[in-house]
Amino acid sequence: MKQLREALPESFPGSQFAFLPADISSQILNFGAPAPWT
């Protein structure tokens, strides 16, 4: 994850990235809403 956080903004400046939760507990706790990376 650390490598992605560093590499993606360099490769795609001005873009935002969001990843869906992988497990059912996280999906329930955040109501299935994606959490953006800024």
Per-residue confidence at 5, pLDDT binned at 50, 70, 90? confident
- DSSP state, 31? T
Beta strand pairing call for 35-37 and 17-19 = antiparallel
- Residue-wise pLDDT for 12-30, tens only, equals 999 988 776 667 676 666 6
Domain boundaries, the chain: 2-37
User: Where does the pLDDT of residue 32 fall: very low under 50, low under 70, confident under 90, or very high at 90 and above?
Assistant: low
Q: Read off the pTM.
A: 0.42
Alpha helices in 1-38 (DSSP H): 2-11, 24-29
CA 27 to chain centre: 13
At residue 38, the pLDDT reads 47
